[in-house]
Amino acid sequence: MAEEKRMNSREYDEGVKVQFVPVGRQRREWMWKARDESNTITISGQRFDSLSDAVRDARTQITGLADDGHDDPDDDGPIVA
């Protein structure tokens, strides 16, 4: 379980840690939760059909970056380590 939690979280350059959580009855939808250095928590408030959609939304909401035009949904780009 700890390994799964580590795999489903990302830390952004601004010191924001984002955790991606499977939700729903079948655990097939995803939400994200973010916590910054001051312990402020932000929750996506929306369910996503795929983890890549949740990552893309978190990246946009947290860093303020727009979609860079890449069509590959599995490409996390340079922002997600």
The pLDDT tens digits along the chain (81 residues) read 444 444 466 655 567 888 999 998 888 899 999 888 888 888 888 999 999 999 999 988 887 654 444 555 665 555 554
Q: At residue 35, what is the residue type?
A: R
**Residue 9 belongs to a domain:** yes
Residue 45 belongs to what domain range?
A: 2-63
pTM over 0.75: no
**DSSP secondary structure string for all residues of 7-40:** HTEEE-TTS-EEEEEEESTTS-EEEEEEE-TT--
Q: Which of 64, 44, 37, 59 is nearest to 75 (CA)?
A: 59
**Residue 15 belongs to a domain:** yes
**Residue 39 belongs to a domain:** yes
Q: Say if residues 65 and 79 touch (Cβ distance below 8 Å).
A: yes
What whole-number distance in Å separates Cα of residue 18 and Cα of residue 66? Answer: 18
**Residue 43 belongs to a domain:** yes
Number of structural domains in the chain: 1
